[in-house]
Structure 1
Amino acid sequence: MKKTRWQGWGPGEQAEQQYLVQPRALAGGGDVRHVAEFLRASGWRDKSKTGGPLLMESPDRTVRVAYDPYILPGGWTVHGKAGGPGGEWSAHLGRQTPVEIVAGLTDALTRSRSAHAPNVWAPLEKQDWHTRFEGQDYTATSPDGTAWMQYRQSPDGAAMWWAGAQDAQGTGWAASFTPNTPMHLVQAFSTELASPEPVMRPRGRVPDSAQIRTWSVSVKPSQLSAWQQARITAARAATWARSSVQSTRPRTTARPYTPAGDARTHR
């Protein structure tokens, strides 16, 4: 285990021990506020009841993000509505899904869709995940074999996206997406799933797994708060930019059509 001490500290503030964990897929659930505060800063409504599970609703009321640890198996549920037949979609992510990976999906809900066609497999292949066909299923597996992403299709034609991670002791999580889940959201999820960057967990919240690597770091509370605030500030700035564009967009009012032959002279 490596230990790093941050430089440039001022007097009067006690550093706290944190751990960088890799691979991120086995880092454990983390702080739910990482997801919730970003959505709140992006203009989402907090519909949670006091002491109850988390429930966030998009400004247009078409998407809901919930986290319920009080039921079995518990975890995250994202439910959306879109126009057209079969427009409803949902994603279910287990309780131990790292919040950084969950945020790949939920952060993308606050952004406009890219003009480029989404490719769920591209972020995985970029990080050297192994891809293969297994019957009618197509699967990508992380280089260390602990995480996967799969497109599954049953004989009756039903299909779904399935992902997850598991260590040698059987500890892990799973996530599933209905077939009509917007592909840019599934790609945003796969991007964070495949990211080689470690995630931070406080002492006492690091999973007991032989397949993770950890680095001990000393972090001042003000530094941790500043990093969290930077994420919230970015969400607020993006929300303000979008609302500014919408408010300055010129509005046109169609004039009623009057045929030339119907022109009248008023005295």
Structure 2
Amino acid sequence: MRKKQRQGWASPGEQAEQHYLVQPRALAGGGDIRHVSEFLRASGWRDKSKRGGPLHMESPDRAVPITYDPYVLPVGGWSVRGRADGTNGEWSAHLGTQTPVEIVAGLTDALAQPRFAHAPNVWAPLQEQQWHARSEGQTYTATSPDGTAWMQYRQGPEGTALWWTGAKDTQGNGWTATFTPNIPLHLVQALSAELASPEPVLRPRGRVPLSAQIRTWSVSVSPAQLGAWQQARITAARAAIWARTSTRNASPYTPSGGVRTRR
């Protein structure tokens, strides 16, 4: 693990705390789950967590529950489940405990936002970052340039699409995530975009995995700065809700004396 020193980010008079910027993000460790939960809460999701228990969030329509429990057997981590609708059958995703929250948020943020109109392409974000792709029979795999992370698609025996992704270093640190065939592809694409992002992620001192395959830069960050960055995500989530609500409630504009047509 190579460490470099960068100029502190703290404002004068604030007590800065040592953090590290970590690359590649796929090997940065789990991180603070509030990165996921606070965005969902600001997007109108219900926090159904019990005191002292695992995180349990529920979508406004109650169709999608999200839980995080690092202690559940046999494998702890994130669980996301979607109810069957007119387009898709019931689906689920499981992401291991050490999946970086920034990558988890790729999927969970997409659940709280409108879908894009274009057809999803899981591979596009990986191709943009020069991931190596190979095809073996019914299996298609893309691997990060440093070989530590992957995204895999396999055609199942009945034509079902099986997705598998994860990261691993030479010391055995890492995580995996699996998705059932019916998962909406725009969610997998949103996760792949965060997985492939070259941007480092921030981790506090003592929460950086010991790995020969990560690079770190030491930075000084004030609590106020950490709060401001989290607040920026919350503000973005609330702004998206406001925009959707305004669009639904807006009445067609009619110039004075004109006729308004009801639709």
TM-score under structure 2 normalisation? Answer: 0.91
SS at structure 2 position matched to 1:5: coil
Deviations 1:202-240 (A, max 9, x none): 000000000000000011111111111111111111112
Superposition RMSD in Å? 1.8
Aligned to 1:64: 65
Residue among 159, 174, 177 paired with 2:176: 174
Identical pairs, percent: 74
In 1, the alpha carbon distance for the partners of 2:78 and 2:196 equals: 19
Aligned to 1:109: 111
Runs of 4+ that moved beyond 3 A: 154-159
In 2, the alpha carbon distance for the partners of 1:77 and 1:188 equals: 17
In 2, the alpha carbon distance for the partners of 1:85 and 1:244 equals: 26
Post-superposition shift, 1:178?
Answer: 1.1
In 2, the alpha carbon distance for the partners of 1:30 and 1:117 equals: 31
Deviations 1:170-221 (A, max 9, x none): 1110001111111111100000000000000000000000000000001111
Deviations 1:79-105 (A, max 9, x none): 112423762111110000000000000
Aligned to 2:20: 19
SS at structure 2 position matched to 1:91: strand
SS at structure 2 position matched to 1:215: strand
Count of residue correspondences: 253
Aligned to 2:44: 43
Task: Answer yes or no: is 1:33 the counterpart of 2:28.
Answer: no
Task: Answer yes or no: is 1:189 the counterpart of 2:191.
Answer: yes
Q: Which moved more, 1:22-31 or 1:145-154?
A: 145-154
Aligned to 2:202: 200
Post-superposition shift, 1:52?
Answer: 0.8
Aligned to 1:258: none
In 2, the alpha carbon distance for the partners of 1:93 and 1:8 equals: 34
Indicate how the Cα distance of structure 1 residues 209 and 123 shifts in structure 2: closer, same or farther if over 3 A, else same: same
In 1, the alpha carbon distance for the partners of 2:244 and 2:158 equals: 43
In 2, the alpha carbon distance for the partners of 1:187 and 1:175 equals: 14
In 2, the alpha carbon distance for the partners of 1:220 and 1:49 equals: 31
AA at the equivalent of 1:34: H
AA at the equivalent of 2:93: A
Aligned to 2:258: none
In 2, the alpha carbon distance for the partners of 1:179 and 1:48 equals: 28
Residue among 122, 125, 140 paired with 1:123: 125
Post-superposition shift, 1:10?
Answer: 2.2
Aligned to 1:261: none
* Alpha carbons 2:20, 2:216 under 8 Å: kept: yes
Post-superposition shift, 1:63?
Answer: 1.0
Post-superposition shift, 1:21?
Answer: 0.3
Indicate how the Cα distance of structure 1 residues 225 and 20 shifts in structure 2: closer, same or farther if over 3 A, else same: same
Aligned to 1:133: 135
AA at the equivalent of 2:90: E
Aligned to 2:96: 94
Indicate how the Cα distance of structure 1 residues 247 and 144 shifts in structure 2: closer, same or farther if over 3 A, else same: same
AA at the equivalent of 2:11: W
In 1, the alpha carbon distance for the partners of 2:9 and 2:79 equals: 40
SS at structure 1 position matched to 2:6: strand
Aligned to 1:221: 223
SS at structure 2 position matched to 1:34: helix
Aligned to 1:242: 244
SS at structure 1 position matched to 2:171: coil
In 2, the alpha carbon distance for the partners of 1:174 and 1:249 equals: 47
Indicate how the Cα distance of structure 1 residues 164 and 50 shifts in structure 2: closer, same or farther if over 3 A, else same: same
Aligned to 2:212: 210
SS at structure 2 position matched to 1:144: coil
Post-superposition shift, 1:15?
Answer: 0.8
In 2, the alpha carbon distance for the partners of 1:89 and 1:67 equals: 17
In 2, the alpha carbon distance for the partners of 1:85 and 1:224 equals: 40
